[in-house]
Structures are given as C-alpha cells and as structure tokens.
C-alpha cells in the first residue's frame, strides 16, 4: 500500500507517541473512530479499583465535645501503568479527603491521610449524643502520560468508606 495515497483504506504501522500531535491517531479504516489517549486513560482509570480510605475513629466511641479524629489507612496518591500497543500509559492520581460526620457537619478537603489523635487533622467535636453514620470520601483527580503526551483526566472519582453507628455519649458529673 502506498502511504502517500490521500485516500488510504488503512494505515500501516504503529505511531510513535513522541511524534504524534493533535491527540488523535487513526488506527483503522477511514471513518473509524480515532484513538484518543485521554479518553483511553479516563476509561482505564474508571475500571481500576481505587484505594478505599480504610477509615476508623479510635477508640470506636466518643464523648460529646471531645475531639473525634478520623484515621485512614489508604494513601492519598497512587500511580498505575497500563501496557498499550503504543507503549506504557501512566496514570497518576491524588485524593482529597472529605468527611460527612453524620450530624449535619461536613469538612474537607484534607490533603493528607488521617492520623490518630493528637497528630490527626481530620477532627470533629460532636455537640450532642447519638449514634452517627460517618462517611469518609477520597475524591480522586488524575492525570495521564503516554510518551511525550499527557494531561489531566476530566472529572473526579470517589471511593467511600463508612463508620456506621459511631456512638457519641454525654456524661454529667455529679457532686454531693
């Protein structure tokens, strides 16, 4: 097949990602959808299991007005590389942490994983006693690299962990 033909039926060979410009590569018959590395990266990230926060609130119960501190076990960054016909596609992701404390309060974003009291920064003081369902969300944003190309992946993905029925008690001191 003559590669200079203005109307080729197919393209022979595999493009070098360092030499591809414009972001789209046609790898099939004329009229076939072009390969878009950004779309491939977004779709691949959507299939990849994101780290789950692994949240806890030690010691597993709290007293009204005392600091409840969320601890998370998952890192807030990760990187994964996918083999493609055109070379490795690398996706780097970073999470910000948001917390719904179950009492109407929401806090975040936090950039670092939750640590135990007193070092931890993901802290809340409950004003009333009760049993609260706490949701800890890692909101992931990501970027991709494929050869010399790269960019941000539009949108975000969430991984959520819950601490269900977190007990908060009120105690009153009595004298006499």
Partners of 159 in beta bridges: 138
Q: How far is CA 138 from CA 6, 10, 22, 142, 145, in A?
A: 49, 44, 33, 12, 22
Partners of 71 in beta bridges: 56
pTM, rounded to two decimals: 0.76
pLDDT at 29: 56
Other Cβ atoms closer than 10 A to 70 = 27
* Domain extent listing, the chain: 37-169
Number of helices followed by number of strands (H, E) in the chain: 1, 8
Other Cβ atoms closer than 10 A to 18 = 10
Q: Which two tokens stand for residue 27?
A: 């790898």
Q: Which two tokens stand for residue 143?
A: 């970027």
Q: Which two tokens stand for residue 148?
A: 């010399």
pLDDT at 33: 63
pLDDT at 120: 95
Homologous superfamily of the 37-169 domain (CATH):
Immunoglobulins (2.60.40.10)
Q: What is the pLDDT along the chain (176 residues), one digit of tens a residue?
A: 344 445 444 444 444 444 444 555 555 555 556 767 788 888 888 887 889 999 999 999 999 999 999 999 999 999 999 888 778 999 999 999 999 999 999 999 999 999 999 999 999 999 999 999 999 999 999 999 988 899 999 889 999 999 999 999 999 888 87
Contact (CB, 8 A) for 152 and 136: no
pLDDT at 30: 59
């Amino acid at each position: 097949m003559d590669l200079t033909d203005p109307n080729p039926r197919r393209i022979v060979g595999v493009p070098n990602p360092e030499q591809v410009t414009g972001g789209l590569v046609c790898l099939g018959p004329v009229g076939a959808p072009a390969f878009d590395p950004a779309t491939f990266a977004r779709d691949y990230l959507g299939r990849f299991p994101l780290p789950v926060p692994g949240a806890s609130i030690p010691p597993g119960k709290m007293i009204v007005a005392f600091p409840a501190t969320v601890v998370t076990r998952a890192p807030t960054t990760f990187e994964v590389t996918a083999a493609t016909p055109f070379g490795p596609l690398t996706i780097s992701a970073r999470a910000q942490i948001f917390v719904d404390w179950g009492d109407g309060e929401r806090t975040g974003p936090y950039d670092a994983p939750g640590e135990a009291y007193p070092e931890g920064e993901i802290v809340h003081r409950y004003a009333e006693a009760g049993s609260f369902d706490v949701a800890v969300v890692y909101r992931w944003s990501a970027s991709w690299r494929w050869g010399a190309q790269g960019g941000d992946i539009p949108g975000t993905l969430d991984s959520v962990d819950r601490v269900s029925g977190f007990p908060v008690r009120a105690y009153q001191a009595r004298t006499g």
